Amino acid sequence: MHVLFGALLFGCLVELILLLIKPKWATLGRELPNKKKSIKNLVIVIIAFLLLFAFTSGKSTNSTVQTNASTNKVKEVPTKEDTVNQTENNELTKKEENDKSNFLIDSEPNTSAAVDELISRGKNDSKNATKDDIKIAIKFINDNYNKYWVDNETMHKTMYYGALLEYSNQSKDIKELGLDSEQVVKYVYRKADKIEDASTQSNLEQIKKSLDKIPTSLK
């Protein structure tokens, strides 16, 4: 395309020069009825060619730059730390899936008996809780902050993990996180309180404060 524009532009320039120097050469010996008008028209054509050539050149250049940028874009390579963290998270998720029986209840749902069953199970399991068990519990509470009441399954997990942390041999902040996690759910679960009640929101705020004190590596 650029070669064609160049050839046409060159022909127009030659024609203009001939009109200015030797008009009869440019018109094959014929007399021009209006030499000035012919020169004017030829200049307009040349300017039009120049503008069109500049426009298409700029568009082609931008396209080439974008293509080169896409080609030369360096693919981000995961760091060793990212790989380790991803592997660890996958293992924790798999372990949580395998522990689903911890959240099943024999009692009637949404009753004090169901609450006691879940909290008692969490308390018993805390005696043999591993570092991974503690991390899974904290991660669940952190990831589901302000969403503990979406369904019974989530509330069961919150109460169980809360008891697991409260009765564990971990730090005071982790124990308090566990206690507040139980309380933020169990009254709403039994329909004794509502989510918007002051007591529920106060427990939710306490959970946030406890989470802020816990190292990121455990969340």
| pLDDT confidence of residue 35 | 54
Contact 52, 44 (CB under 8 A): no
Q: DSSP 3-state assignment of 203?
A: helix
User: Structural domain boundaries of the chain?
Assistant: 2-72, 80-218
Distance of CA 123 to the CA centre of its chain: 37
How do residues 92-132 score in pLDDT, each as one tens digit? 566 656 577 889 999 999 999 999 999 999 999 999 999 99
- Report the share of the chain in percent with pLDDT over 70: 59
User: Does the pLDDT of residue 72 top 90, yes or no?
Assistant: no
User: Does the pLDDT of residue 89 top 80, yes or no?
Assistant: no
How far is the C-alpha of 127 from the C-alpha of 130, rounded, in Å?
9
- Residue 46 or residue 164, greater confidence: 164
Q: Which residues contact 102 (CB under 8 A, 6 or more apart)?
A: 121, 122, 125, 160
When pLDDT is cut at 50, 70 and 90, the band that residue 171 belongs to is: very high
| pLDDT confidence of residue 34 | 56
Q: What average pLDDT does the structure give for the chain?
A: 79
How far is the C-alpha of 156 from the C-alpha of 60, rounded, in Å?
62
How do residues 2-43 score in pLDDT, each as one tens digit? 565 566 656 666 565 655 555 554 444 555 555 565 666 656
Residue 31 to residues 25, 36, 38: CA-CA distances in angstroms? 10, 13, 12
- Residue 95 or residue 185, greater confidence: 185
How far is the C-alpha of 137 from the C-alpha of 95, rounded, in Å?
11
User: Does the pLDDT of residue 68 top 80, yes or no?
Assistant: no
Q: DSSP 3-state assignment of 195?
A: coil
